[in-house]
Amino acid sequence: MNPPKVQSQPLPAGRKANPETESDEIAGVLPDDLAEDEDDGEEIEAEPVEPDLGGYTWDTASVDAEGKSGTEVIAHFVKRLPNAPGVYRMMNAAGDVLYVGKARSLKKRVTNYAQGRFHTQRIGRMVRETTTMEFVVTRTEIEALLLEANLIKRLRPRYNVLLRDDKSFPYILLTGDHAAPGIFKHRGARSRKGDYFGPFASAGAVGRTINALQRAFLLRSCTDSVYEGRTRPCLLYQIKRCSGPCTGEIGSADYAELVKEAKDFLSGRSQKVKSDISGAMQEASDALDFERAAVFRDRLTALSHVQSHQGINPQSVEEADVFAIHQEGGQNCIEVFFFRTGQNWGNRAYFPKADPALEPAEVLGAFLAQFYDDKPCPRTILLSHAVGEQALLAQALATRAGHKVALGAPQRGEKKSLVDHVAQNAREALGRRLAETSSQTRLLAGIAETFALAKPPRRVEVYDNSHIMGTNAVGAMVVAGVEGFVKNQYRKFNIRSTDITPGDDFGMMREVMERRFSRLLKEHAPAAGPEAEAAEEPDETTAFPAWPDLILIDGGAGQMSAVRKILADLGIEDKVTAIGVAKGVDRDAGRERFFVTGREPFMLPPRDPVLYFIQRLRDEAHRFAIGSHRAKRKKEMVRSPLDEIGGIGPTRKRALLHHFGTAKAVGRAAMEDLMTVEGISAAMAKQIYDHFHDNG
């Protein structure tokens, strides 16, 4: 979504303009939460990136409050604040952002914090930890609301309501940049010309819909390069899921008509499309052209299949997102259903992180602002609870979307029944999650009892390696906690040490552990003294810990010796408990032996729930390691000799292969022939020629 515009304002005391930019636009495009560390092949979680505030810097008001915290330091800021809308953030002594908020009047809002009267323990604890504040003045309260949502989503402050699952939604794309448009699943930026239909709740829902639409409208799903290279129809044409425009099996005008029908169907005019196809079927039948009539019959069946799998299809809701929240056991579940063109396109459950003291309407309102920060907003949003500042939120969403947005909680009729149905799904989803969490909690407590740990682990890391005769070696780490596997914490390590003998599992594990814990010490040094004791007492605002309480190693005594040496060398052998899990005799599941420091190797009873749990953890690590290894091996297999030549990027590589056909033909080409390729200069042609002939 487009970021809000901020007009120039008189700057309060201490405000500094950014000399590097004169733009008045608050940029909302930021890097993803996860980045790939190209240096060591390990995927790492990126530190929150400061959004571009369009010509302004955060104002710290330059107060003399060193050594102070809480209401005392906040009172210093109040004196210098304007009576204007804006965004503020509160930070602790370590510079961590504790809270991001917006206000119609910054001075009045911050004054409330300085008075020291708080309705909840959460607010009181947040104020006591605050050692500094920063501010941005905006032109309107709407702009403050939009900026607040953007900052919360990017900075993930400890005391805000946080949208934890923020994967993008898939869409159906009918391309518009080709003579024969294709139908594809699309996720991400809408950079390609065409018509986008969605969102769908899952990739599976898109896949099922596309499969049915292919049978109904016979549109191609092949890439443009495959399309251009076809000399005869493919298998999809033979099984009647494509009309074969690539080889002229259908004329351009007839194919364009199929594309138009597909657009009409996806745009909500499904009854008209079905009526037209039914009429064509009757005409073919009257003309005794039963083979053609059967084609129309099959298309009607496919369309009925699409609609029959969409569940609820309300008559009074054309385009809407329906949200319902349910609270139980200190947790929140927000269920959202997507309705487009009068059809139900799936649903998804979210479990935002929030203080249990917050009311459902407060959590839902904070969630909505973050949810639509980078997603298209429909014209109608139905809610189970009326949220605070509802009119302001509707105006903010309309500003982002570029059209009017109706936001409300229906009290009667079909829309109320629809919201009630979504609320029921939210209750059931949260019930399932609580049951899974309870089971996971019991299993973690069982691990603590079995292995004599001081307390149940909050973070368990499991390590495994994968390779074939030492080639394409990859180390893998999976993470589990109270809520199950935490997949955004998974990491893979490309083994790159040249000192390791191919196939040396001990050496690979040493490298993985050294890299993992060296980085952890650098980025998250363990606290000491009272801070460490406080960190050990989790509360409702505590984030998922960076340090593992327990690490499981897929291996026996040899692997464990390598791990213990690394932990000892780093001085953290007392901070992390390491356990080796060796496969049983004949590698039978259920006969694993466990290696723990200070104890003889031992086995668990065959039907022990803790044993099954550890097997599941180990199997997940094995699956992730194997998948990472296969991906690396596949990438290695398709490498071209052209990749080894400096200055040959994807564009030049593509041009050379299109011109000569294969890398081998490029290697045999004369310099004069190489220079005829677009983008290849005389110097580059010589470099390519020398590369192949020097190595020949």
Band (pLDDT 50/70/90 cuts) for residue 56 is very low
Which of 59-63, 234-238, 481-485, 655-659 is the least confident region? 59-63
Helix (H) or strand (E) holding 494: strand 491-494
Within its chain, how far is the Cα of 519 from the centroid? 23
In the predicted structure, residue 322 carries a pLDDT above the cut 80: yes
Q: How many angstroms separate the CA atoms of 61 and 66, rounded?
A: 13
Q: Which residues contact 413 (CB under 8 A, 6 or more apart)?
A: 316
Band (pLDDT 50/70/90 cuts) for residue 67 is low
Interval 4-27: pLDDT, tens: 433 333 333 333 333 333 333 322
Residue ranges of domains in the chain, CATH in brackets: 34-155 (3.40.1440.10), 170-308 (no CATH), 320-432 (3.30.420.340), 451-525+546-635 (3.30.420.340), 641-694 (1.10.150.20)
Contact yes or no for 552/614 (Cβ under 8 A): yes
Q: Which residues pair with 382 in a beta bridge?
A: 322, 408
Decide which of 376 and 194 is more confident: 194
What mean pLDDT is predicted for residues 546-568? 87
What mean pLDDT is predicted for residues 226-243? 86
Report if pTM > 0.75: no
Q: How many angstroms separate the CA atoms of 441 and 196, rounded?
A: 43
Which of 191-205, 308-322, 359-373, 529-543 is the least confident region? 529-543
Question: Sign of the CA dihedral 388, 344, 274, 218?
Answer: positive
Interval 289-310: pLDDT, tens: 787 788 777 777 766 666 555 5
In the predicted structure, residue 528 carries a pLDDT above the cut 60: no
Half-sphere exposure of 69 (CA within 13 A, CB side): 14
Query: Is the bond preceding 245 in cis, omega lying within 30 degrees of 0?
Result: no
Decide which of 354 and 68 is more confident: 354
In the predicted structure, residue 594 carries a pLDDT above the cut 80: yes
Q: How many angstroms separate the CA atoms of 344 and 350, rounded?
A: 18
The amino acid that residue 360 corresponds to is: P
Q: Which residues contact 109 (CB under 8 A, 6 or more apart)?
A: 88, 101, 103
Q: What percent of the chain is predicted at pLDDT more than 90?
A: 9
Q: How many angstroms separate the CA atoms of 309 and 312, rounded?
A: 9
First-last CA distance in the chain: 54
**Distance of CA 348 to CAs 51, 94, 357, 451, 547, Å?**
28, 37, 25, 38, 31
Q: Can you give the pLDDT at residue 382?
A: 93
Q: How many angstroms separate the CA atoms of 690 and 248, rounded?
A: 45
List the alpha helices (DSSP H) in 527-641. Answer: 530-535, 557-569, 609-637
Q: Can you give the pLDDT at residue 14?
A: 36
What mean pLDDT is predicted for residues 163-184? 83
Q: Can you give the pLDDT at residue 1?
A: 42
Q: Can you give the pLDDT at residue 5?
A: 38
In the predicted structure, residue 480 carries a pLDDT above the cut 70: yes
What's the farthest any 2 CA atoms get from each other in the chain? Answer: 92
Q: Can you give the pLDDT at residue 587?
A: 57
Decide which of 111 and 189 is more confident: 111
Q: Can you give the pLDDT at residue 79?
A: 80
Q: Can you give the pLDDT at residue 603?
A: 87
Quick one: tokens of 222?
């092949």
The amino acid that residue 297 corresponds to is: R
Contact yes or no for 78/84 (Cβ under 8 A): no
Q: How many angstroms separate the CA atoms of 107 and 694, rounded?
A: 72
Q: What is the DSSP string of 316-328?
A: S-SSEEEEEEEEE
Question: How many other CB atoms are found less than 10 A from the CB of residue 116?
Answer: 14
Q: Can you give the pLDDT at residue 696?
A: 42
Q: Can you give the pLDDT at residue 312?
A: 58
In the predicted structure, residue 189 carries a pLDDT above the cut 70: yes
What mean pLDDT is predicted for residues 21-35? 30
Question: How many other CB atoms are found less than 10 A from the CB of residue 458?
Answer: 18
Contact yes or no for 490/624 (Cβ under 8 A): yes
Question: How many other CB atoms are found less than 10 A from the CB of residue 121?
Answer: 12
Pairing state of beta strands 471-481 and 343-350?
Answer: unpaired
In the predicted structure, residue 388 carries a pLDDT above the cut 60: yes
In the predicted structure, residue 484 carries a pLDDT above the cut 80: yes
Interval 607-627: pLDDT, tens: 888 888 998 898 898 898 888
Decide which of 33 and 673 is more confident: 673
Average per-residue pLDDT for the chain: 78
Q: What percent of the chain is predicted at pLDDT more than 70?
A: 80
Which of 67-71, 246-250, 387-391 is the least confident region? 67-71
Name the DSSP class of 488: G
Number of helices (H), then strands (E), in the chain: 21, 20
Band (pLDDT 50/70/90 cuts) for residue 201 is confident
Question: How many other CB atoms are found less than 10 A from the CB of residue 225?
Answer: 7
Q: Which residues contact 251 (CB under 8 A, 6 or more apart)?
A: none
In the predicted structure, residue 49 carries a pLDDT above the cut 50: no
Band (pLDDT 50/70/90 cuts) for residue 402 is confident
Q: Can you give the pLDDT at residue 308?
A: 54
What mean pLDDT is predicted for residues 253-264? 87
Q: How many angstroms separate the CA atoms of 668 and 686, rounded?
A: 13
Question: How many other CB atoms are found less than 10 A from the CB of residue 16?
Answer: 12
Q: Can you give the pLDDT at residue 17?
A: 37
Interval 444-456: pLDDT, tens: 999 999 998 989 9
Contact yes or no for 322/410 (Cβ under 8 A): no
In the predicted structure, residue 319 carries a pLDDT above the cut 70: yes
In the predicted structure, residue 131 carries a pLDDT above the cut 70: yes
Half-sphere exposure of 329 (CA within 13 A, CB side): 12
Half-sphere exposure of 234 (CA within 13 A, CB side): 16
Q: Can you give the pLDDT at residue 24?
A: 31
